[in-house]
A and B are shown apart, each in its own frame.
Chain A
Amino acid sequence: MVYLTRRAEFSASHLYHNPAFSAEENRRVFGKCNNPNGHGHNYTLEVTVKGEVDSRSGFVVDLKQLKEVMQREVLDAMDHRFLNKEVPEFFTRIPTTENLAIVIWERLVPKLNHARLHRVRVYETPDLFADFYGEI
């Protein structure tokens, strides 16, 4: 088994707000991230796929195809967007780093023809990242 990781970057804004919480509870739980005008990050995404090396091509996966899927499913949908308002999954889910990793996993899995997804890692800043391995 060989693991292959492709990196991409996107910039987006978001805010953390749960409409089921009171204004005071939102401020207490989410702190500055609850600012109603939102704020932004330069995100780094790492997608790791796994598989056996194909004896003819020497590839685990066609990197060009992986790159295109990441571009279409993630970057085109999220880069330079306000996540809460423009990415449908975040109309109802809070766009935390954890949920970004989960949503990106859910977007990629049905589109990857041959590659098996191993891990989605999302860096919100160089000092904070979330990993999702598809665990329920």
Chain B
Amino acid sequence: MKAHLTRRYRFSASHRLHNEAMSLDENRLTYGKCNNPHGHGHNYFLEVTVSGPVEEATGMVCNLADLDGFMCREVVERYDLGNLNAAEEFKLNIPTTENLCIAIYETVSRGFDKVHLEKVRIEETLMNSFEYAGPSGLHR
């Protein structure tokens, strides 16, 4: 039997949306308030969905302690109470929540091999959420 398991994490971080290749006017026009030179922050909610057969001996798709350990170490501690623009992956990419979704998806799919990663979903605010499920898109 194949099941999907979703775990929710949270972290708070600041960022500024600014593209060096654009003029000041174009940056302000494109990013609006998010282009404020001093940056601003959000309380992000992150959902990671994994899927696979439910192992008979444990009743689990994957051991939650393993997933939590990886996510806390590699994602939450990396971004929580920090500035996203300072992270290596956002030296060239703008730290929009779209790009944050892709960066976290790649971190998990590269580093956590115990289960299949289905998707990453991030709520930047209560009004905005973003999902990334790899190049082939959402299956569900």
Which A residues are closer than 8 A to B by beta carbons? 16, 18, 20-21, 29-31, 93-99, 101-102, 126-133, 135-136
Contact = CB atoms under 8 A, between A and B. Distances in A.
Interface stretch (B54-62, B76-84, B92-100, B101-109): B54-62
Given A102-B54, A135-B1, A136-B1, A95 B6 contact: no
B2 A135 contact: yes
A120 to B, nearest CB: 10
B1 A96 contact: no
A132 B3 contact: yes
Given A96-B54, A98-B60, 6 more contacts: A16-B59, A94-B60, A96-B58, A97-B5, A126-B8, A130-B61
Interface in B28-81: 54, 57-61, 63-65
Q: Rank and list the top 5 A-B pairs by shortest CB-CB distance, nearest first.
A: A94-B59, A96-B59, A127-B8, A131-B4, A135-B2
Contact of B63 (A29, A97, A102): A29
B60 A96 contact: yes
B91 interface: no
- Band of interface residues on B: 10 to 19
Interface of B: 1-9, 54, 57-61, 63-65, 140
B53 to A, nearest CB: 9
Nearest to A125: B8
Which residue of B1, B58, B59, B60 has the most chain A CB atoms within 10 A of its CB atom? B59
B3 A128 contact: no
B3 A101 contact: yes
A99 B8 contact: no
A135 to B, nearest CB: 4
B27 to A, nearest CB: 36
